[in-house]
Amino acid sequence: MLADALYAWFHYLAIFVLVVVLTAEAVLLRPDLTANGVKRLIIYDRFYGISAIVVLITGLLRLTQGLKGAAFYMSSPWFHAKITLFVVIALCSIPPTLAFLRWAKQSRQQPGFVPALPEIKRARRWVMISSHLFIFLPLFAVLMARHVGG
């Protein structure tokens, strides 16, 4: 029982970190982005990736080792919706991550580098899409936990 509680706790912590980092990225991706902001974006995106991996690992631990058991989750259409949405959000995070990596390379080559406004807007659009999709994950979790439609 303690292990199940710890899996849930770490799962929630990783989710909170992911939300905070995604919010920080959205805040930085403004027309007034500075060279220091670019450096922070790169760090934030690493935390985003790490937290997403921890969310996935702890979710898998809850699925396979948790008290409810895999049958509880696998029988719920909301579990499948949640996993699908998580994958969609992960795919939406690829374009900004690639942009941030490109910006990191350019900033190493040109100190003080700041990306052009269209690039900033494009990266921000993807971050905002991810953010807006993310709000449905807790809804799916609540519906799943209460066996709604399942």
* Per-residue pLDDT reduced to its tens digit, 13-59: 999 999 999 999 999 999 999 999 999 999 999 999 999 999 999 99
Total of domains in the chain: 1
Q: Does any domain span residue 39?
A: yes
Q: Does any domain span residue 49?
A: yes
Task: Specify the amino acid at residue 111.
Answer: P
Q: Does any domain span residue 112?
A: yes
- The encoded tokens of residue 98 equal 């690639």
Q: Does any domain span residue 150?
A: no
**112 near 81, Cβ under 8 Å?**
no
Tell me how far apart the alpha carbons of residues 32 and 59 are, in angstroms, rounded to a whole number: 37
Expressed as residue numbers, the domain containing 23 is 2-145
Q: Report pLDDT digits (tens) over 63-105.
A: 999 999 999 999 999 999 999 999 999 999 999 999 999 999 9
- The encoded tokens of residue 130 equal 């991810």
Tell me how far apart the alpha carbons of residues 86 and 80 are, in angstroms, rounded to a whole number: 10
Q: How many residues does the chain have?
A: 150
Q: Does any domain span residue 51?
A: yes
Q: Does any domain span residue 12?
A: yes
**65 near 3, Cβ under 8 Å?**
yes
